[in-house]
Amino acid sequence: MIKEIKFTDKAIKQINHLLSSKDKGSFFRIAIKGGGCSGFKYDFTFEKEVNDDDLRHENILIDKASADLLKGSEVDYVEEMIGESFKIINPQSKSSCGCGVSFSL
C-alpha cells in the first residue's frame, strides 16, 4: 500500500477514466526514471502485471525505488491553458525544468 504519497480526487478520477478504456485488470504505473533535462523524469504507463517490488494503491502501481523518491509527494491532475497533465509536487525535488517533467534531487 502506498501510504506516503497523496493522490488528489482529480488525479484518481483521471486515472480511473484512462483505465476505463484499457483491458480489464490493467493498472496505472507511476515511475521515476533517469533522463530528462534535470536528471530524473516521471513516467506514466499502463501495465497488466504486478511486480514483486510494487506498492499498490487501488489500481495504481509504484515500484519501491520510485516510491522512496516520491515520499511526501502529491499527485494531481491539472487542466491549464497549455494542456492537461499529471503534476507531481515532490518535496524531495531540488529543482525542475521549465516543462515540469524532469527534476533533480
Which pLDDT tens digit goes with each residue over 13-69? 999 999 999 999 999 999 998 876 667 888 999 999 999 999 999 999 999 999 999
Predicted confidence band of residue 104 (pLDDT cuts 50, 70, 90): low
Predicted confidence at residue 96, as pLDDT, reads 61
Domain 6-100 is in which class?
mainly beta
Residue pair 19/26 in contact by the 8 Å Cβ criterion = yes
Q: Model-level pTM?
A: 0.84
Residue pair 92/105 in contact by the 8 Å Cβ criterion = yes
Q: Virtual CA dihedral for 14, 16, 17, 19, nearest 10 degrees? A: 120
